[in-house]
Homo-oligomer: A and B are copies of this chain.
């Protein structure tokens, strides 16, 4: 009586990486926290070798850093890192928006509208965390609609680091702005206007960055 799809085929190495990743992006493990292989192994009930591969994995994802013979720690981000994340994310999302617009179909429009409406609905409330999730869902939908596996993968890497930063810095935003700032983007994609969609996507992110800069400075 096995249910297809529910079968646990993920290796323990992957699962360990997943757990650690979740703890990092959700802020359970704050930047700078030291991670000891043997300790983690005991904690998760796994062998050191398995944890080791998971840590290496997270290392390539930029979530943890490694000092030879000294240890692992949750990555800390400086100003340069933040700038890199914003510029790279804007570019990747611009590409995704353009591709999504170029190959938009009826089903795609429906999925996009659904995600957008959901976000608008959430923005009427005050649950900032839910809004963040809705925002991510919308962006992730656009990425999927681009039909670009590598783009999705690279975006995922950036997004995780981004989330880690957002959580650690405890950054917030105005619910009302978030929802409507995506309107032009969604429209452009649904209309199949690749160039405009790309511009709107880039503007969406860099605009947000500038807003944050002003508040911080």
Task: Give the residues in chain B near A53, CB-CB below 8 Å.
Answer: 52-53, 56
A84 touches B150 (CB 8 A): yes
The reply to whether B88 and A151 form a contact with Cβ atoms under 8 Å apart is yes
Does A11 touch B at the CB level, under 8 Å?
Answer: yes
Check if A148 is an interface residue, CB within 8 A of chain B: yes
Q: Given the complex, which residues of B lie within 8 Å of A95, measured CB to CB?
A: 87-88, 91
Q: Check B60 against A60 for contact (C-beta < 8 Å).
A: yes
Q: How far is the CA of A151 from the CA of B154 in the complex (A)?
A: 11
Which chain B residues lie closer than 8 Å to A84 at the CB level? 148-151
Chain B residues positioned under 8 Å from A92 (CB to CB): 91
A9 within 8 A of B: yes
Q: Smallest Cβ distance from A215 to chain B, in angstroms?
A: 25
State whether the Cβ of A31 lies closer than 8 Å to any Cβ in chain B. Answer: no
The answer to whether B87 touches A148 (Cβ under 8 A) is yes
- In the complex, whether A57 has a CB less than 8 A from a CB of chain B is yes
A55's nearest neighbour on chain B, judged by CB, is: B53
Give chain B nearest CB distance to A173 CB in angstroms.
24
User: Bound state CA distance, A68 and B216, in angstroms?
Assistant: 48
- Bound complex: CA of A52 vs CA of B13, how far in Å? 12
Knowing that A56-B57, A88-B154 touch, tell me 13 more A-B residue pairs with CB under 8 angstroms. A9-B68, A11-B68, A53-B53, A53-B56, A57-B60, A62-B150, A87-B95, A87-B151, A88-B148, A88-B151, A91-B91, A91-B94, A150-B158
